[in-house]
Amino acid sequence: MAITLEDYRIQIIEQLKAGAHARDLVAEVDMVLASARLSAAAQAAFWDNLNSDLDILAEESTAVLGKEAAAELNASIAAAQGAALKYRRLLASDETKSSD
């Protein structure tokens, strides 16, 4: 059964909430996107949407979780966003090189 990109983003968020190691998870996402042979634009949109989802999760976590749990989740979110930004920049760099 095929999974949509939106479903995949939700799955990533759930894995982060469950305590998955953020950098490893984001590296896995990069490999999945590359193997799916998505266009650079589709990959960029995915990373941008994931980043937005992570922003929302960070905002919601402080209201729903206790102080310590929210701080732990927010640290994971920040790590995931940092790693995702790295892949997004690499993708943008590749797009620039291919248009030259």
More confident residue, 82 or 92: 82
78 vs 97, more confident: 78
Instruction: Specify the pLDDT at position 50.
Output: 92
DSSP, residue by residue, 85-98:
HHHHHHHHHHHHHH
Model pLDDT for residues 26-84, shown as the tens digit of each residue: 899 989 988 988 888 898 899 999 999 999 988 888 777 788 888 888 888 898 888 88
Q: Which amino acid is at 40?
A: A
The pLDDT, as a whole number, for residue 84 is: 86
Tokens 């490999």 — which residue? Answer: 31
pLDDT at 87: 82
CA 51 from chain center: how many Å?
6
Residues 6+ apart with CB under 8 A from 68: none
Looking from the CA of 70 toward its CB, the CA atoms found within 13 Å total 12
- How does DSSP classify residue 65? S
Local structure of 66: helix, strand or coil? coil
Q: How far apart are CA 15 and CA 22, in angstroms?
A: 9
